[in-house]
Structure 1
């Protein structure tokens, strides 16, 4: 059963909206962050008119924000303008990560040996920020540093590939956070994998960069899937790793 919006969202922070032309984008970003953070739980029922009143905006930008959330696969919208935050789903994890592994491993291969010294230094700084924010339990800052690190790892991927990679990265973000909440020990494993990816990229080791990225993303998918459905057979992830890393995970 859906969780009613009036019970689930009473304590939500109202976003600061400072540009009428950007209200839709700002609302989308705010709601997306709340869903990815778990502040709005899977199964929560959302209503455009109710949220528009809560956030003191008209229905038009809220409707557009809902459309963007639906396009990302975060909510399902009915004809009555009510929406439900989609549940975490093992099949979706398999599909999203299978595609992301393939695309991001390709982006890493394209980028290997082509990062500037400044970009390598920035990627190293991202890793330092991730360690620092993890110790401080500041997950918002950790996610920002993590997102930037992965963007640098595929920095030479041009349009439209870069945009597609970013889209799948964003769509898997709430699964990353789900895995982190359930498994604190994943940080150490991920940190070692990030270091391995960056080393291969900086050294221009194309095969190693692509394979390391594929295995890193597959480890995240496997962690999430083990909690969602331990019996689920992740065929898409398995085939993507086989293709990009030359062997099974």
Structure 2
């Protein structure tokens, strides 16, 4: 067994009816947390032994990981943890900026009291999780916050937004690993976005969301490819900022 796989933590199945879902969640966390580094070869037979599961749920878990862009390779052959792809990051974040800036515009001034309370709770959970260095809990609260502030864009678009957010997770973790000192600034950005949404200021909410997402993309691109411009990201920011002056 390869050294990278031999040291993996085991998996405790809590629901035998959802083995593939639990295997997927476990593998996904190992990848986005960096425990399984980019380029690590993933052998299904070895992972089946490590996790004490059959090959069938592993194949389904691998299929889901491939759809998320976290694993590359042939489905029934050896796969690898996907590496950093600057083109993917740039286009993924450009799409997120366009969709989520529109989403906050549609949501601004339209949150229910319960939704507003849930968003504020998510912010507090993010702050607590960061102080405890619990990035798994932080990530869950972070996804919930971003979903709430764009919630009026409709169920179908929300599914797309959620999918893009999931695919962004390795890049978010890369940002966190290198820029933990910036968390207070990023937290203030989240607070400002929620304040703008609650105040019904659609233009401000869209600009803040666009710059917030672009900040992650710019820094991660600069970390890994410092001389590469983020053209698509900047175009998306310009588009999001222009929405309010388009004579809607």
Alignment correspondent of 1:15:
11
Deviation at 1:146?
A: 1.2
Alignment correspondent of 1:202:
198
Deviation at 1:102?
A: 0.8
Indicate yes or no: 2:148 matched with 1:152: yes
Alpha-carbon deviations, 1:86-144, whole Å to 9, x = none?
Answer: 11121111011111111111111111111012221221222222222222222222112
Q: 1:63-82 residue pairs with structure 2 within 5 A?
A: 63-78=59-74, 81-82=77-78
Q: Does the aligned pair in 1 maintain the 2:6–2:50 contact within 8 Å? A: no
- Tell me which of 186, 189, 202 is aligned to 2:182: 186
Extract structure 1 runs of 4+ deviating beyond 6 A. none
Alignment correspondent of 1:50:
46
Q: 1:123-162 residue pairs with structure 2 within 5 A?
A: 123-162=119-158
Indicate yes or no: 2:221 matched with 1:241: no
Whole-Å separation in 1 of the counterparts to 2:93 and 2:181? 21
Indicate yes or no: 2:8 matched with 1:39: no
Whole-Å separation in 2 of the counterparts to 1:10 and 1:145? 31
Q: CA, structure 1 residues 74+38, in 2 after alignment: closer, same or farther (shift >3 Å)?
A: same
Whole-Å separation in 2 of the counterparts to 1:243 and 1:129? 32
Indicate yes or no: 2:161 matched with 1:169: no
Deviation at 1:219?
A: 0.6
SS at match of 1:9: helix
Give the alignment's Cα RMSD to 1 decimal. 1.5
SS at match of 2:72: strand
Alpha-carbon deviations, 1:131-168, whole Å to 9, x = none?
Answer: 22222222222112111111111122212100000000
Q: Does the aligned pair in 2 maintain the 1:215–1:245 contact within 8 Å? A: no
Kindly tell me the number of residue pairs found equivalent between the two proteins: 243
Alignment correspondent of 2:246:
none
Whole-Å separation in 1 of the counterparts to 2:79 and 2:42? 5
Higher helix share: 2
Normalising to structure 2: TM-score of the pair? Answer: 0.93
- Tell me which of 102, 110, 113 is aligned to 1:117: 113
Indicate yes or no: 2:92 matched with 1:96: yes
